[in-house]
Every structure is written in C-alpha cells, then in structure tokens.
Amino acid sequence: MSRLSVTQLSKKFGTRTAVKEISFELEEGGCTALLGPNGAGKTTTLRMLAGLLSPTSGSVLINGKETSEISWRNQIGYLPQHPSFYGWMTGKEYVVYAAGLSGMTGKQAVAEAELILERVGLSEASRRRISGYSGGMKQRLGLAQALVHHPRLLLLDEPVSALDPLGRREVMDLLQQLRQGTTILLSTHVLHDAEEVCDRIIMLRSGEIVEHGSLAELSAKYRQPLLTIQVESDPKGQAAAWLHSLQDRSFVRDFELRGDTALLTVSDMGIAREVILKEAGSRTMPLLRFEAGATSLEDMFMKVVGS
C-alpha cells in the first residue's frame, strides 16, 4: 500500500483557488520535491496533507486512512515554512515539549530531544531562549521538532530556504540520511535543491500539477536537441529578420528570441543544422555563433516559472 495517497485535492480561499484537483501517490521511502514558484500552492498542499487545513474537496489517505482518523503527531513530522515558537522557551524545552505531544514519556522525550538537537547542530544553543535565535537557528529547531518522534512521513515546507550555504549543506546531508527510512515530501522553489536530495519531482503552477515523475525520467524527457544561433546586427536588419523567420521551419518545435540570439528546440539536429547552415551561407548571414546542444530540465522549469 502506498504511504500517502492524494486524490483530486482542492482548496479554495473565497473565490481564489489555491490548489486545484491534484492527485499523486507517494510510496514508502525516498524523497519527493513539491517544486513550484511563489504562490503555486505548495504550502497550502502541505498544510492539507499535515491535517492542519481542511480541503475544499478531495481526499488525503495515509496508509489508507484519513488524516482525521490517525494520530498524526505520531506518524507525521511537519516543518512549517515560517515556524513560530514561544520565544521564552529554550530550544531544548521546546523540542522536549514537541516530543511529549507524540506520547513519549518525559525521560524518553529528553533523551530524544538531546539526540536530535545534536543532529541539527543546535546542542550548544539548546539552553538559550529561542527569542535570541537567528532565522537559520529557528529553521533547525523547526526541523528538530519535526524529527524528534521518528515519523515515517516527513512534510517539510522549504527546509533550506532560510539557511546560509553551510547550514544548507548540513540539512541536505541530514535529509540524505533520513530518506533511507522515511518518506519525505519537501517543498522548494529551487530546482537545484530538488535535484540534489530528491528522486521524484511534482511540479506545481497556479495550484495544478504541470509535471511529475522521477528525476531520471523528466531529465530524459526534457533533453531535446537545441540550436543556439547568434547573428551580428546589420544596418538593414536582414539578419534579424532571417533569424526571426526560422521559427516557421517544420523541424522547429520551440522558438525563443533573446536579443540577437535565437534558441531553437528542433526535432532533428542533423536536418536543422544542414538546412540552416546552408541558408546562412547562401545568404551570407553574419553568423556570430552556431551551437548544437540540448535543453535541460532547468530550461523547462524556467519556462514554467516564467510563463
């Protein structure tokens, strides 16, 4: 049975639809990235999965059960995008308190809290009040409370966005270790972060899933032949006009013009190269650059984010 099963999940805030009929399944273990630009619906989705926000329609099943039926605090670890804490508590008091919520005995809670604070790099600061913590320290504390009870499903909303490069590295390494025995769903707006630690991607835009699959599948899918052609500007604008006209060729699947450079995604690199080079030669086009390469998942993501 899959650990998490999401069916036709939607959330409306008034007339605004934040999440629109999304469906996906997560098997046990591994890491999936919920990837999307600002406002895509990542936080809304994660809050519904964590049982903190009721869906307008659709269902979320964890191991076949509704989130309302399970004691979620035992099974789910959730890191909010902007965790809020009681500033008067020390870091350790807070994590012990969080551990207690999952039903641990006092002694167990203290032992587990110490272990996890060590693991997220907060041992030394753990006796200080949270009001004196930096943003990155609060992020680590948020992770500690999400992890202290060894949940089987971890929902992390932008776990590395507030961290400096060193902190980011540490949390990424921690997630690498955790993904062996835990199902992780993390949100991010950075493709690079998703690629580093996750094996699957669910891409959201305007509340809808626009793409999903394993990283290997998606990278292969979006790896298409790409021709980059740059021309020198000429007084009559003939070169620019020619460049522009290339979009109508039968072998051009996608065309983008950036100043005096055209990016052509083509169906057949051999044909495209031959035809265009021949034309450029016969019309003596002032070519500056003619480069054969391939598009990437990054290019696709930039398109999704940009449009």
Ligand X SMILES: Nc1ncnc2c1ncn2[C@@H]1O[C@H](COP(=O)(O)OP(=O)(O)OP(=O)(O)O)[C@@H](O)[C@H]1O
* Nearer CB in complex with ligand X: 81/295: 81
Q: x/- string (CB under 6 A) for ligand X, residues 187-216? A: --x---------------------------
254 within 8 A of 265, measured Cβ to Cβ: yes
Nearest to residue 143, comparing CAs of 186, 206, 196? 186
Q: Should residue 44 be labelled a site residue for Mg ion when binding is judged by CB under 5 A?
A: no
Piece of the chain touching ligand X by CB under 6 A; list 32-40, 90-98, 173-181, 291-299: 32-40
Q: Should residue 16 be labelled a site residue for ligand X when binding is judged by CB under 6 A?
A: yes
Q: Should residue 20 be labelled a site residue for ligand X when binding is judged by CB under 6 A?
A: no
Nearest to residue 175, comparing CAs of 203, 157, 191, 154? 154
* Nearer CB in complex with Mg ion: 43/126: 43
**Could you give the angle at the alpha carbon of 259 between the alpha carbons of 253 and 263, nearest 5°?**
20
- Rounded to 5 degrees, φ, ψ at 160 are -115, 5
First to last CA, the chain: 37
Q: Should residue 139 be labelled a site residue for Mg ion when binding is judged by CB under 5 A?
A: no
The residues with which 157 forms a beta bridge, in sequence order, are 187
* Nearer CB in complex with ligand X: 16/107: 16
Residue 60: both structure tokens together? 């979320």
Q: How many binding residues for Mg ion (CB under 5 A)?
A: 3
Residues near 16 by beta carbon (within 8 Å), at least 6 away in sequence:
none
Name the amino acid, one letter, at 113.
Answer: A
**Exposed/middle/buried for 300, CB within 10 Å: 0-12, 13-18, 19+?**
buried
* Nearer CB in complex with Mg ion: 145/187: 187
- Rounded to 5 degrees, φ, ψ at 81 are -65, -40
86 binds, among ligand X, Mg ion, none (CB under 5 to 8 A by kind): none
92 within 8 A of 85, measured Cβ to Cβ: no
Applying CB under 6 A, among 4, 24, 31, 36 the residue interacting with ligand X is: 36
What distance in Å separates the CA atoms of residue 134 and residue 61, rounded to the nearest whole number?
36
- Overall residue count recorded for the chain in this entry: 307
* Nearer CB in complex with Mg ion: 43/182: 43
Q: Should residue 40 be labelled a site residue for ligand X when binding is judged by CB under 6 A?
A: yes
Q: Should residue 41 be labelled a site residue for ligand X when binding is judged by CB under 6 A?
A: yes
β-pairing verdict for 183-188 and 261-266: unpaired
* Nearer CB in complex with ligand X: 12/223: 12
- Kindly identify the residues of this chain, within the stretch 68-107, that bind ligand X according to CB under 6 A: 81
* Residue 206 CB, nearest approach to ligand X (Å): 8
36 binds, among ligand X, Mg ion, none (CB under 5 to 8 A by kind): ligand X
203 within 8 A of 210, measured Cβ to Cβ: yes
* Residue 32 CB, nearest approach to ligand X (Å): 15
* Residue 122 CB, nearest approach to ligand X (Å): 24
Q: x/- string (CB under 5 A) for Mg ion, residues 59-88? A: ----------------------x-------
3-state secondary structure of 79: strand
* Residue 257 CB, nearest approach to ligand X (Å): 29
Query: What is the contact surface with ligand X in residues (CB under 6 A)?
Result: 13, 16, 18, 36, 38-44, 81, 189
Query: What is the contact surface with Mg ion in residues (CB under 5 A)?
Result: 42-43, 81
